[in-house]
Amino acid sequence: MFLQKLRLRDFRNYTDREFEFNEKQVVFFGANGQGKTNILEAISIFSVGKSWRETSAEDLITYDGNENIPIYSALIDAEVCAQDNPDFYRILIEPRTRQFFRNEKKITLKSHFGRVPTILFCPEFLELFSGGKSKRQKFFDRFLIQVSPTYRDNLLRADKAHKNKVAILRREENVSPAEISPWNQILAESIPEIVSERREFLKKINPIFQTEFAKISQNKEPVEITLQLAEDFEPTQEGVLKFFAENTSIEKFSRRNLIATHRDDFLFSLREKPISSTASRGEERSVLIALLSAQKIFLQEKISASPILLLDDVFSELDSTRQKSLENLCEGGQVFFTTTHENHFKDFLGKVQRIEI
């Protein structure tokens, strides 16, 4: 999997900029605020449909600097070669829509996800262990939509049903069962599928995660990720419907939907304790590198190809020992780095393409 060309038009701070890549290791370097991270963001959107840091499509579209007139779309063009077969992709970003094209034919996001897998590191991920659960959900959801053709569909269905149900509960004091029953039914169909896929993923990745952490930390202290459901219910269609029936009055009184995907959490433990209470900052970084490495191995086994790594400002967050572990992670696939200092990659093994931004 090799990204050969990338062109950004009216995207963030790029009116029209084209990049051509000829090495597996590509480093974008320059001062802060010049748009290095924007390039990785574009590759991330190209891979999974959305950036880790956007709040709306308007964030991504360039505005005229003189008259503040919006340009109503942004374009990301990419040429990717897999097994010597080039594919040409285009992503059209508009305020309310996002369209994907492959070799000039429009494609669905469902058919696109997983074609160009990426693994991302950004400084914000260091808050995975101490920050709110929404960060952990976004982190794992970003990965799971690349390996499962049904995961995103179920997320979208559950989110829509949740919003519609909450709107009814908040709008009316005396909600009839018939009004919320259709949304409960959709939740009962989609939530168990999501829980099942999340649990199956953790079952498979935890042993890899443990092995990779042992390599980095040079010890065998147990490390694990578990899924914690916000409510006690049997994750089957019948179990969800039973829970809703038994908690109707609570939901009406609180005007809340009690079973929703965003209410569950991914918990990290080290030495059989919550990682936020037992790990040093260095250990947290080792856990994160081990997790990225486990994701890479998982994807390689799933798709028989190395994912593209997107590493944003990683050098400022890792000491020399962990940077060496990061180099091992980068072997075998294409890697895009951003950094503010050119000397951060002076000791890299292999050829490095340097692009000053």
pLDDT at 348 > cutoff 80: no
For residues 146 and 114, is the Cβ–Cβ distance under 8 A?
A: yes
Closest alpha carbon to 218 in 280, 276, 290, 269:
290
Q: Is domain 126-281 in CATH 3.30.300.30, yes or no?
A: no
Q: Which helix (H) or strand (E) is 243 found in, with range?
A: helix 237-246
β-pair partners for 100: 91, 107
Task: For 70-93, write each residue's pLDDT tens digit.
Answer: 567 899 999 998 777 889 999 999
**Region(s) of the chain under CATH 3.40.50.300:** 1-23+31-117+342-357
Assigned CATH for 1-23+31-117+342-357: 3.40.50.300
| pLDDT for the residue numbered 221 | 93
At 247-280, the pLDDT tens digits run 999 999 999 999 999 999 999 999 999 998 898 8
| Nearest to 91, CA basis, from 115, 69, 75, 110 | 75
pLDDT tens digits for range 274-310: 998 898 888 888 899 999 999 999 998 887 778 999 9
pTM: 0.88
Q: Is 100 helix (H, G, I), strand (E, B) or coil?
A: strand
How many residues belong to the chain? 357
3-state DSSP assignment of residue 153: helix
| Per-residue pLDDT at 171 exceeds 90 | no
Integer Cα distance of 58 and 55 in angstroms: 8
Which residues make up the CATH 1.20.1050.90 domain(s) of the chain? 126-281
Name the residue with tokens 């370097």.
29
